Amino acid sequence: MDRAAEQPVDLAAAMRWLGGDRKLLEELVTIFVDDSPKRLQAIRAALTASDGKQVEHVAHSLKGSAAILGATKLQTAALALEDAAHDGHTENGSQLVAQIAQELDRVMAFFADPAWADRIDLEATT
Q: Is residue 20 part of a domain?
A: yes
Q: Is residue 125 part of a domain?
A: no
Whole-angstrom CA distances from 39 to 24, 46, 82 are: 21, 10, 13
Q: Is residue 89 part of a domain?
A: yes
State pTM to two decimals. Answer: 0.90
Q: Is residue 45 part of a domain?
A: yes
The pLDDT of residue 126 is above 80: no
Q: Is residue 13 part of a domain?
A: yes
Q: Is residue 56 part of a domain?
A: yes
Residues 15, 70: Cα–Cα separation, whole Å: 9
Residue 125: the pLDDT is 54
Closest CA to 111 of 74, 57, 82, 59: 74
**What domain count does the chain have?**
1
CATH number (domain holding residue 78): 1.20.120.160
Mean pLDDT, the chain, whole residue set: 91
pLDDT tens for 30-88 read 999 999 999 999 999 999 999 999 999 999 999 999 999 999 999 999 999 999 999 99
pLDDT > 70 fraction of the chain, expressed in percent and rounded? 93
Q: Show the domain range for 115.
A: 3-120
The pLDDT of residue 1 is above 50: no
